[in-house]
């Protein structure tokens, strides 16, 4: 029987790639998105979109789905530092509201909760993060993602609900909203600046290390998770195992865009961490997932997308 899937935040960056993947595999997919960062044009024409915030969902919105994938979120760690209450409402309260609706009206659905590698905080050399590493939040965003993970645990233990927790790691690629001015996953914003030969802002000294995963690789993990019964009740990190500094990343973007941009160093941001590098061993063992796209390949694809999207936007004005 054809499985029905609801994707919250499905018109957004990661969510729309998840929708594409499931649509191609023959699932019946519907999307709920408030379009605060997503776009209608990110979605295939045969996918139904309901424009709505998660906090406003009612029983009819979530009934009759076999799988509910929760991607909708406020996704900037630094935004959460400046606007903690808004982050609480968008990330913690909305997640609770969704899970509570599911408990009351669709408690047999498999729920995929999008958490974040950032729940682990700083991972000092030479450690490589694994799922069993302790929580170590540095911003409200991290705290609220941990809250969501704790809700998964409690709803499972008290009511027998079914969850899979995914922890994406610094996802990048096409459809990343460069127009959000760097608040939202900064790589696309850096690419736009490089194409315009403008300074690339780096907060701190640029030695901070991150583990970047291409968006289509990340989306593939969602499809594998819903198809594998062994995934239920498990948590999976989705990194590449390769650490790259902000300085190295900026240099690579400048090189790949043939840009004259210079790096502009600014004061460090509150809540920033020095290093994250993670292991995908568990995802490989249980889901059969591993990253396929190298950073260099992925950045080239994202650069081409940003170029094309800027052209489209310019012609639309």
The answer to whether residue 268 sits within a structural domain is yes
Confidence of residue 207 (pLDDT cuts 50, 70, 90): very high
Going by pLDDT thresholds of 50, 70 and 90, the confidence category of residue 48 is very high
Q: Active-site residues: which are they?
A: 141
C-alpha to C-alpha distance for 307 and 317, rounded to whole angstroms: 16
Confidence band, pLDDT 50/70/90 cuts, at residue 26: very high
Average pLDDT over residues 62-76: 96
Query: Residue 175: its pLDDT value, please?
Result: 97
Q: How high is the mean pLDDT of the chain?
A: 96
CA triplet 152, 154, 159: central angle to 5 degrees?
Answer: 100
Q: Per the domain annotation, does 295 fall within a domain?
A: yes
| Residue 73 within any structural domain of the chain | yes
Residue 262's alpha-carbon distances to 200, 247, 250, 267, 301, in angstroms, are 6, 11, 9, 16, 22
Reported pTM:
0.97
Q: What is the predicted pLDDT for the residue at 3?
A: 94
Token pair belonging to 134: 């302790």
Inside any domain, residue 316:
no
pLDDT at residue 316 tops 80: no
What CATH number should be reported for the domain holding residue 234? 3.40.50.720
> Are residues 268 and 206 in contact, defined by beta-carbon separation less than 8 angstroms?
no
Q: What is the pLDDT of residues 233-279, one digit of tens each?
A: 999 999 999 999 999 999 999 999 999 999 999 999 999 999 999 99
The answer to whether residue 177 is domain-embedded is yes
Structural domains counted in the chain: 1
Predicted local distance difference test score (pLDDT) of residue 317? 63
Task: Tell me if 60 is assigned to some domain.
Answer: yes
Q: If you average pLDDT over residues 10-21, what whole number do you get? A: 98
Distance CA 222, CA 17 (A): 10
Domain of 86 in residue numbering reads as: 4-311
Residue 284 belongs to some domain of the structure: yes
Let me know: does 70 contact 114? Beta carbons within 8 Å. yes
User: Which range, of 1-5, 129-133, 151-155, 180-184, averages the lowest pLDDT?
Assistant: 180-184
* Residue 167: band (very low, low, confident or very high) from pLDDT cuts 50, 70, 90: very high
Evaluate whether residue 195 is within a structural domain.
yes
């Amino acid at each position: 029987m054809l499985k029905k899937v609801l994707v919250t935040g499905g018109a957004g960056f990661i969510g729309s790639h998840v929708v594409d993947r499931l649509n191609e595999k023959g699932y019946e997919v519907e999307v709920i998105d408030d379009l605060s960062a997503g776009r209608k044009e990110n979605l295939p024409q045969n996918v139904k979109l309901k424009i709505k915030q998660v906090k406003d969902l009612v029983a009819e919105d979530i009934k009759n789905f076999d799988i509910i994938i929760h991607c909708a979120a406020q996704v900037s760690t630094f935004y959460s530092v400046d606007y903690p209450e808004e982050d609480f409402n968008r990330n913690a309260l909305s997640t609770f509201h969704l899970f509570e609706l599911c408990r009351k009206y669709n408690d047999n659905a498999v729920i995929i909760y999008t958490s974040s590698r950032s729940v682990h905080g700083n991972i000092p050399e030479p450690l490589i993060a694994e799922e069993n590493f302790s929580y170590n939040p540095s911003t409200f965003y991290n705290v609220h993602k941990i809250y969501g993970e704790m809700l998964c645990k409690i709803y499972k233990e008290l009511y027998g609900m079914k969850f899979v927790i995914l922890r994406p790691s610094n996802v990048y690629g096409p459809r990343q909203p460069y127009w959000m001015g760097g608040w939202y996953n900064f790589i696309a914003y850096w690419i736009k600046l490089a194409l315009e030969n403008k300074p690339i802002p780096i907060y701190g000294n640029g030695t901070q290390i991150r583990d970047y995963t291409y968006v289509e690789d990340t989306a593939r993990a969602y499809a594998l998770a819903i198809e594998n019964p062994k995934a239920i009740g498990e948590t999976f990190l989705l990194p590449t195992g390769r650490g790259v500094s902000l300085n190295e990343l900026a240099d690579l973007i400048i090189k790949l865009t043939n840009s004259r941009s210079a790096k502009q160093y600014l004061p460090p941001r509150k809540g920033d961490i020095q290093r994250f590098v993670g292991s995908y061993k568990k995802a490989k063992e249980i889901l059969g997932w591993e990253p396929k796209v190298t950073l260099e390949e992925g950045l080239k694809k994202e650069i081409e997308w940003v170029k094309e999207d800027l052209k489209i936007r310019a012609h639309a004005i």
